[in-house]
Amino acid sequence: MTVVASYVYRDGQRVREAPLTPEGLALEPGEFVWVGIYDPTDAEIDVLVERFKLHPLAVEDALAAHQMPKVEVYGRELFVVARTAMKIDDRLAYGETHVFVGDDHVVSIRHGSARAHNHLRTQLEASPLQLKKGPDFVLHGILDFIVDAYAPIVDDVEDSVLEMEQRTLDAFLSRLEIRRLFTLRRELLKFRRILGPMEEVLGRLQSLDLPCIDPDVRPYFRDVGDHVRRVNSRLGGLNDILSSVFEVANLLEQQRQGLITRKLAAWAAILAVPTAIAGIYGMNFEHMPELRWEYGYYAVLSVIAAICAALYVTFKRTKWL
């Protein structure tokens, strides 16, 4: 557990720290509190439930995690789940951010691989006119912060996909590279699986009629939704490229195997000539005139060489060798 930050705001300005106690979370008219927690304990959640009357179903989701992006409305309370993504080494790691929004509070709960909101809080506090709008603007800031982190990930994935595409065209893929292709495709599918629900979340936030959501903030949610759609569209394009890479790699592999098969068949045909002739003269029949001919040995070798040379030239011309 970590209570990252808990502060009270009035007129867009931070006025004091708010300890996670009933007394510390007490507010005066015109104030709201933003509590940020990472992997909260049951005791901390109990304090928040008692102070802000959070709905039990939303609390259960916030504690259990492993939720898909969604929006739930409980009376005057809004509960939003968003999925975060970040790149760790060569893989994508996902986390969750759960946000409770009421008339006088924002409670953001992070699980898993999710960037801390310290930088976001600093940015919002640097715009007091915007922060003055209240908890709904903080919700927009959190969602925008999460979605903005998607773009660099997509850039990295795009570079990897285009690199693999070029590698496929330049040479045959190794087993390790094929495994990497499958990994990229799996990561794309996982990423797209959270983007669809994120679009729905932002679409619904644009149309919600709640006291804690000011109509003036709705265009901001629409802007974030546009960002999600663009990211999803880019991932769709990358997925199509990956599918094409798989098809090209498969065709090239079939072509390579066909070339190998033709070469083996050509050499088998060439080697069949001396094998057949040697087999005929190895049958040891008594009446075979060539066996007693003075130049029979040289004649047979010449015939073998001539036929093999003719076959070799023919296969070379037809590009079988």
Tell me which of 252, 275, 309 is where a domain ends.
252
| CATH number of the domain residue 88 falls in | 3.30.460.20
pLDDT for res 114? 63
Q: In what order do the strands lie in the sheet with 31-38?
A: 13-17, 2-10, 31-38, 105-112, 91-101, 77-88, 70-74
Number of domains in the chain: 2
Same domain (yes/no): 309, 194? no
Is the Cα dihedral 130, 133, 134, 139 positive or negative?
A: negative
Q: What is the 3-state secondary structure (H, E, C) of 2-15?
A: EEEEEEEEECCEEE
Task: Tell me: do 177 and 37 sit in the same domain.
Answer: yes
Helices (H) and strands (E) in the chain, counts: 9, 7
Residue 186 sits in the same domain as residue 229:
yes
pLDDT for 99 equals 94
What pLDDT shows up at residue 214? 83
Per-residue pLDDT of the chain (321 residues; tens, 9 = 90+): 566 788 999 998 999 998 888 888 888 898 999 999 988 888 888 889 999 999 999 998 888 877 899 999 998 889 999 999 888 777 788 889 999 999 899 999 998 866 778 888 989 999 888 888 889 999 999 999 999 999 888 888 888 888 878 877 777 777 787 788 888 888 888 888 999 999 999 999 888 877 778 888 888 999 999 999 999 999 888 888 888 887 777 777 777 788 888 888 888 888 888 888 888 777 776 667 666 777 777 888 888 899 889 888 888 888 887
Nearest to 188 by CA among 245, 143, 145, 146: 245
Specify whether the CB–CB gap between 73 and 213 falls below 8 A.
no
Looking at residue 315, its pLDDT comes to: 84
Determine the pLDDT at residue 274.
Answer: 87
Same domain, 54 and 160: yes
Cβ neighbors of 244 (< 8 A, separation 6 or more) are 165
Beta-sheet strands, E only, within 102-172: 105-112
Measured distance CA(93)–CA(250) in Å, rounded: 30
Distances in whole angstroms, Cα of residue 73 to Cα of each of 91, 98, 108, 208: 34, 13, 16, 9
Residues 180 and 298 in one domain: no
Q: Which of 235, 252, 269 is the last residue of a domain?
A: 252
Alpha carbon 297 to its chain centroid, in Å, reads 71
In this structure, are strands 2-10 and 70-74 parallel, antiparallel, or unpaired? unpaired
Dihedral in degrees, nearest 10, Cα atoms 189, 194, 197, 203: -110
**75 and 157, same domain (yes or no):** yes
- Do 281 and 133 share a structural domain? no
Residue 109 and residue 188 in one domain: yes
Same domain, yes or no: 239 and 287: no
Q: Which of 252, 282, 302 is the last residue of a domain?
A: 252
The residue range of the domain holding 217 is: 2-252
